[in-house]
Structure 1
Amino acid sequence: MASLPDPNTLAGLTSLFTEGMRWISAAALGMARPAGIFLILPVFTRAEMGTLIRLGLAFGLAFPILGYSQQSIAPTEADIQVVRLVLVALKELFVGVLIGFVIGIPFWAIQSVGELIDTQRGISNEVAPVDPTTKSQSSALGLFLGLLGITIFVAADGLNTLVETLYGSYGLWPIQRFLPATDLDAMMDLARLVDRVLRTALLVGGPVIVLMLLLDLCVMLIGRFAPQLNANDLAPTVKNVAVVLFMMAYASYLFDYASAEIGTVRGMDATIGPFLR
């Protein structure tokens, strides 16, 4: 007759299993915030990385804080523990998305400049390239400027700044704290960040937009005084040639602006702070 397992052995295995589950839960909580950044930040969404690669990167970023994450898990009843872990993980994912959104604003602002210019010069959606981020048609110039911004970000050691911002966010909004002490001023600051995208597009793309409007006016006058010329067919050609020539002279300013805009990522701790305190 088989003997029963030693109670001490069972207790040891149970304790080992419980401790293992705590570390697995700690790893999941630590990975949630980086995963939220990877979901929205253009640096990672444009790379079209697979799920396995993103999970590996998230675990790599979560590894240094596993001890802190494990200490944040308070021992409670099993049912309450599962619900609490799920809610905290969702909160951590939201914090990561918020960080990715704030850091991604300069990239979207730069890309919106190109989309606004392409809209003004009459590029149709039928010939537009596919944006790998949204899987939909997008502006060619917008995609180019977006990739330019990502290149500048990586070349300017932006990834190191991103990691510093991620780890610094745990001091502003710890894992164990579920809700931030956000006030109305912080919400207004968030609305201003959203407004910054359109404002940047209008300011930086303004000279090209004015040029397009002047060309439209010239084409209308040509159609008025020279009806034998087909103004509708003439306008797109004139606009595209003018944009190419203008962008050659405007590229230096645009590059400097993109560098300065991406450089603002280094000060994102001060921007994110009011939302996380």
Structure 2
Amino acid sequence: MNEFEELRHWLLVFTFSLPRILATFTMMPVFSRQVLPGMVRNGVAASLALFIFPVVVVDAPVSDLTLISGLGVLIKEVFIGLLIGFGVAALFWSIEAAGFFIDNQRGSTMASSLNPLTGSQTSPMGILFVQTLNVIFFVGGGLLVVLGALYTSYQLWPVFSFFPRVEWDAVPYFLGILDWIMALAVLMAAPVIIAMFLAEFALGLISRFAPQLNVFFLAMPIKSAVGIFILVLYAGILIGYYNDELKKLATHFTALNGLFR
């Protein structure tokens, strides 16, 4: 193998190493196109792929690949990257849903704005929760968990291996993740929602005995004040819960190892 063929071999191996990382970043809101432009995100993915390149390049059968088999490898790599990123994105989706539930209860869903992480419309409290989780993700070691899972996946599912065998338990597992998203959102929003419901119930009793009092205009500011007060008291517990859920991401990657071999 001359120098040109060796360089071509390395470039092809490096190219096949990138789709898994790029697909994972595509699913994660913290690496969305709104946060990292395409060129910057590709540069970050390429720099991370350099660390796994020595493992992938060993005995890589690039010369034996045809066009069809090469496309199959690329599709398989994107699929695995989406699986890894799905578990991380599910946590951000549940946090955003919790904020939307709170804003829906206090009647401020009309004040929706653009989420800078996803580029979609969401509620103000949803943006606050997602931004908080974004900070905890980087400070609390969530990025290290994701990178560890990515690098381990190259050993469990090598780039040039056949498509991982899918177990039938994968379908109920991913349906369980959707159930977990809703359950986590309701669980985190429940204390604030219950407090605002009690405040609204008290306003209903007041309007019963004082009909001349315009409760409709008082409901939103009072519920907002009660919700923010409970949220301030609840913030420490909520941040700790965020951190615990980030640490549990490793269980998702372990489960993927059992479902896709």
Q: What's the TM-score once normalised by structure 2's chain length?
A: 0.89
Distance apart, 1:220 and its partner CA? 2.6
Distance (Å, rounded) in 2 between the aligned partners of 1:133 and 1:255? 19
Does residue 1:137 correspond to 2:121, yes or no?
A: yes
Distance apart, 1:204 and its partner CA? 1.9
- Equivalent residues in 2 for 1:172-211 (5 A)? 172-211=156-195
- Corresponding residue to 1:108 among 74, 85, 93: 93
Question: Could you tell me which residue of structure 1 aligns to residue 241 of structure 2?
Answer: 257
Question: Could you tell me which residue of structure 1 aligns to residue 109 of structure 2?
Answer: 124
Structure 2 unaligned spans of 5+: none
Question: Could you tell me which residue of structure 2 aligns to residue 75 of structure 1?
Answer: 63
Larger radius of gyration: 1
Question: Could you tell me which residue of structure 1 aligns to residue 145 of structure 2?
Answer: 161
Distance (Å, rounded) in 1 between the aligned partners of 2:107 and 2:217? 11
Distance (Å, rounded) in 2 between the aligned partners of 1:109 and 1:134? 14
- Corresponding residue to 1:34 among 6, 11, 21: 21
SS of 1:134's partner is: coil
Structure 1 unaligned spans of 5+: 1-11
Name the % identity: 31
Distance (Å, rounded) in 2 between the aligned partners of 1:43 and 1:133? 6
Kept in 2: contact 1:115–1:138 (CA 8 A)? yes
Distance apart, 1:19 and its partner CA? 4.0
Change in Cα spacing, 1:124 to 1:156, as seen in structure 2 (3 Å) is closer
Kept in 2: contact 1:88–1:175 (CA 8 A)? yes
Kept in 1: contact 2:169–2:259 (CA 8 A)? no
Kept in 1: contact 2:113–2:121 (CA 8 A)? yes
Distance apart, 1:192 and its partner CA? 0.9
Question: Could you tell me which residue of structure 1 aligns to residue 206 of structure 2?
Answer: 222
- Corresponding residue to 2:52 among 65, 73, 89: 65
Distance apart, 1:158 and its partner CA? 2.5
Question: Could you tell me which residue of structure 1 aligns to residue 37 of structure 2?
Answer: 50
The Cα offsets for residues 147-169 of structure 1, whole Å up to 9 and x where unpaired, read as 21121121122222222110101
- Corresponding residue to 2:71 among 83, 86, 89: 86
Question: Could you tell me which residue of structure 1 aligns to residue 255 of structure 2?
Answer: 271
Distance (Å, rounded) in 1 between the aligned partners of 2:255 and 2:133? 20
- Corresponding residue to 1:97 among 82, 86, 100: 82
Kept in 2: contact 1:29–1:69 (CA 8 A)? no
Distance apart, 1:101 and its partner CA? 0.9
* AA of the residue aligned to 1:180: P
Does residue 1:241 correspond to 2:225, yes or no?
A: yes
Distance (Å, rounded) in 1 between the aligned partners of 2:145 and 2:210? 58
